[in-house]
Structure 1
Amino acid sequence: MSALRQQLGDFSSIICFKAAITGMEEALGDKATAIALTSAGRARGKKLAEELGLAGSSMSLDEAASKLNMALGKDGTRLCIVEKIVAEGDNIKVYTSETFCSAGEPPNSPRKCTFTMGAVWGAIEQLIGKRFKGVHTESVLRGGTHDVFEFTPF
């Protein structure tokens, strides 16, 4: 696949995109912006899962984590590092680091991952073939070792 832009390539600055997020928060409010960004992330994650062959596959969670990390991590779009995906009963937990949403935030910031969690959420739904409720349960901004997204089936 060729670059989307001839000279600048496919990547943009976290600083610029985070400025867009804070501008949306000022114009729309925190909740409406979070809903929109999470929804956009889920759409991206679903499309990514299809591109990676995750949709409807019998791939293990370890294999899925590896594929997602390749696509979203250092060798991909650099949205986040997907460290691991674990099943706890019917729940799925995804451990991430260096998330786009937490970048540059001060310690104890109330910032939640929205787009990033949404992207992982959409991919998990495609992989598992179920609808989930997603929650950002642990944050590196508030003492966690990872940004953890927990998905519970409806």
Structure 2
Amino acid sequence: MLRPNLGDFSSIICFKAAIVGMEDALGDKATAIALTTAGRSRGRQLATELGLSGSMMSLDDIGYKLGYALGKTGTCLCSVEKIVSEGDVIKVYTSETLCSAGEPQGSERKCTYTLGAVWGALEQTLGKRFQGKHTESVLRGGTHDVFEFTEFK
């Protein structure tokens, strides 16, 4: 069913309320697993929709496409600032993530759904399995929310 008046998007306030409700009902760990998995599924779907599956694009080009689709011109999930490779690690620098919106400085909240969405998109695009983690947070003094991915072996 299409929403002719409201369109495809909902508010961060509602999505974050759903996250908090899930945490209350399921606990933090189960919620994190569920949201990360849901994000990975969305990321794989997004990469397919963007025609990135199995692409030989550079990380800069992948970052641009994901930034366009996830940022202000797309779903507004986050801004993808850059994607870089440092040895065996791929680092994705994001800002204005769904997860940090409305959170106080010092909050321990992790980016689960956003991490998952980027993770799934990278796996689908590069044709590799990764282990992902949220390593830096704007809520805890970082300049970006940074997600690090290493190939799963």
Moved over 4 A (4+): none
Cα distance in structure 2, aligned partners of 1:9 and 1:125: 29
TM-score by length of 2: 0.97
Return 5+ residue gaps in structure 2 as ranges: none
Q: CA deviation at 1:14?
A: 0.5
1:99 maps to what in 2? Answer: 97
2:61 to 57, 60, 63: 63
Aligned to 2:48: 50
Matched AA of 2:101: A
The residue that corresponds to 1:137 in the other structure is 135
Cα deviation, 1:31-61, whole Å, max 9, x if unaligned, reads 0000000000000000101111111010011
1:122 to 114, 120, 123: 120
Q: For 1:100, what is the secondary structure of its paired residue?
A: coil
Letter in 2 for 1:84: K
Identity %: 77
For 1:54 and 1:143, how far apart are their aligned partners in 2? Answer: 33
Distance of 1:19 and 1:4 partners within structure 2: 24
TM-score, structure 1 length as denominator? Answer: 0.96
Letter in 1 for 2:46: L
